[in-house]
């Protein structure tokens, strides 16, 4: 068995070099208003908006073969997630550009002369149905979201 060596109590607390240093004085000052700290890594300021756009784009792109329903479904889901009309309409505007751009890009990469998978519609007819459905769905989803605040809590009682 090994015999543990005992350390005197005054030596195990602080090293001798720290014991002889003078006391440090720290003062805190406020930063000027135009100076900010740099955040560590990547920080999203509008995570609700980005989530709403992602939900709208995914739902609309997955159901692209149903011309009006794809926009309605994506708009309702994303508008409900957005919660406010302004965010829902902004997300619908982004979705109205992204989904047709993705489908147009995929059609261009397939080198087909026409998009025959859009249920007999031309691309422009499908685009109009998609945009109309997306905005109607976004408005519906934003309206369907309950807004529970202290002022609105007793208005219907």
81-107 residue pLDDT tens? 988 889 899 999 999 999 999 988 888
Q: Is there a domain that residue 139 lies in?
A: yes
Phi, psi of 142, rounded to the nearest 5 degrees? -70, -35
Domain extent for 118 = 47-146
Instruction: Round to whole Å and give the CA distance between 59 and 56.
Output: 5
Q: Is there a domain that residue 137 lies in?
A: yes
Is the pTM value of this prediction over 0.85? no
Domain count across the chain: 1
Q: Is there a domain that residue 58 lies in?
A: yes
Grade residue 157 by pLDDT with cuts at 50, 70 and 90.
very low
Q: Is there a domain that residue 19 lies in?
A: no
pLDDT value at residue 12: 55
Q: Is there a domain that residue 99 lies in?
A: yes
Instruction: Round to whole Å and give the CA distance between 60 and 100.
Output: 10
Q: Is there a domain that residue 20 lies in?
A: no
């Amino acid at each position: 068995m090994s015999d543990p060596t005992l350390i005197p109590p005054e030596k195990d607390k602080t090293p001798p070099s720290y014991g002889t240093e003078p006391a440090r004085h720290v003062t805190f000052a406020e930063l000027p208003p135009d100076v900010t700290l740099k955040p560590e890594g990547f920080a999203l300021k509008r995570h609700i908006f980005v989530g709403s756009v992602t939900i709208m784009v995914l739902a609309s792109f997955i159901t692209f073969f149903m011309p009006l329903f794809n926009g309605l479904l994506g708009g309702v889901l994303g508008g409900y997630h957005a919660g406010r009309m302004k965010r829902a309409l902004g997300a619908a505007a982004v979705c109205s550009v992204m989904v047709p751009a993705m489908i147009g890009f995929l059609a261009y990469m397939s080198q087909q002369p026409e998009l025959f998978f859009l249920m007999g519609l031309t691309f422009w007819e499908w685009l109009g149905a998609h945009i109309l459905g997306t905005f109607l769905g976004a408005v519906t989803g934003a309206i369907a979201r309950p807004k529970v605040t202290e002022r609105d809590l007793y208005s219907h009682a």
